[in-house]
A and B are shown apart, each in its own frame.
Chain A
Amino acid sequence: NAGVTQTPKFRVLKTGQSMTLLCAQDMNHEYMYWYRQDPGMGLRLIHYSVGEGTTAKGEVPDGYNVSRLKKQNFLLGLESAAPSQTSVYFCASSLGAAQTGELFFGEGSRLTVL
């Protein structure tokens, strides 16, 4: 059982380049999330989805876009990368709403923007 899988695990971009991070879960979870983790800032929610075809903004959505075309996949896109987007990105999923279930995380994707 793979759980939550993120690809790629590492990426280096130049300012202005674009890229997409892929998150896949095999637990049939409805809710999926993208967080970023920075030293001293903790985990901050970028975007989330409550089901296939839905997305919503979290705390720090600017500069990112997401899509959830299939229930098992949640994609995070950077259209024009900036050095401030250098971070470790985590995808997470849960069966239902936060009040009801357990949250599971992927291994993370470390992004460096030069």
Chain B
Amino acid sequence: KQEVTQIPAALSVPEGENLVLNCSFTDSAIYNLQWFRQDPGKGLTSLLLIQSSQREQTSGRLNASLDKSSGRSTLYIAASQPGDSATYLCAVPSGTYKYIFGTGTRLKVLA
């Protein structure tokens, strides 16, 4: 049974710091992995989707890497800003319609 874990559950960093969020999954036979951000009271916004054949994906200050063999993905945020404060979730598909979501990391970037 696939389990997805995100550690730490919460993180506070000063503005400008580079940071790494972690996502671990127990079953390495994944097709893809998706990173989302969720602002308080809002929906999930898709940030990056990494296919299983890819090692990393980049979008602006965000870089997501995928290491299937070790069951890990990391989301790297460069030069963090207060506007990056949100909860970040990762998700992997489990079958044709089911997604397993991680527990989330609540990020606070201090000005």
Residues of A within 8 A of B (CB): 4, 31, 33, 42-43, 45, 48, 50, 56, 58, 90, 92, 97-108, 110
B65 CB contacts on chain A under 8 angstroms: none
A102-B42 contact, Cβ under 8 Å, with A43-B101, A45-B98, A97-B97:
no
CB distance from A34 to the nearest CB of B (A): 12
Is A31 touching B101 in the complex (CB atoms < 8 A)? no
CB distance from A1 to the nearest CB of B (A): 13
Q: Is B110's beta carbon under 8 Å from chain A?
A: no
Is A103 touching B34 in the complex (CB atoms < 8 A)? yes
Number of interface residues of B (CB under 8 A): 22
Is B34 touching A99 in the complex (CB atoms < 8 A)? no
Residues of B within 8 A of A (CB): 31-32, 34, 36, 41-46, 49, 91, 93-99, 101, 103-104
A58 CB contacts on chain B under 8 angstroms: 97-98
CB closest residue in chain B, given A9? B41
A42-B101 contact, Cβ under 8 Å, with A99-B31, A106-B43, A107-B43:
yes
